[in-house]
Structure 1
């Protein structure tokens, strides 16, 4: 499978300053086409790597899509739901209500103070 980290860099505007609009559109297409079939571990590795390099570099649409696909594959992973919620809150307020829903679901799966939260 194509390296998601490289594809993530491909949709990060500041990493593509010399790209033509056609090249950027192709990079976005390749990112979307690859991420929709990627597994959650690969997606999370990409997200965490790119966020560590430049927290706000990956566009919110690309982050939201990645977290959404990972959460759909692991709907009972409270730590992942919380991670996705925190990321949405960082780029809100448009997605605050979704973040609150994710946090509530995570709390049902793994209540705060239960000792099993990550």
Structure 2
């Protein structure tokens, strides 16, 4: 069993920056990864996204995995403007079909910052 969500994703899809580790579980099902992703906390998901795609537009994670991961993080942290903007930027990188959702995320981030008390 992989000790982290990041290791599990790296094993399944590889890593643009590091060699894919030897894994005795080469024939495991993607469904186990998605089960783990579904119940992962936001920190574990963000660690995976940031380690495997440190520049947002890179990495070998499939687009749909990245979109799902951001969706799950935003469900856990719906009021984080920086995270909303990061998810919006990721969506914009993957074609115009996601631009409306990216714009909505950006608007939510702007609204949250307007409501925040000044520092």
TM-score (norm 2): 0.77
For the residue of structure 2 that corresponds to 1:31, the secondary structure is helix
CA pair 110-31 structure 1, distance change in 2 beyond 3 A: same
The equivalent of 1:42 in structure 2 is 44
What is the rounded CA distance, in whole Å, between the counterparts of 1:94 and 1:56 in structure 2? 21
For the residue of structure 2 that corresponds to 1:38, the secondary structure is coil
Runs of 4+ in 1 over 2 A off after TM superposition: 13-16
Greater helix share, 1 or 2?
Answer: 1
TM-score (norm 1): 0.77
Count of residues paired in the alignment: 107
Structure 2, gaps ≥5 residues long: 21-25
The equivalent of 2:92 in structure 1 is 89
Task: Report the more deviating stretch, 32-41 or 51-60.
Answer: 51-60
Task: Report the more deviating stretch, 45-54 or 35-44.
Answer: 45-54
The 5 A counterparts of 1:67-78 are 67-78=70-81
Q: Deviations over 1:59-92 (max 9, x none)?
A: 0111011100000000001111110000011112
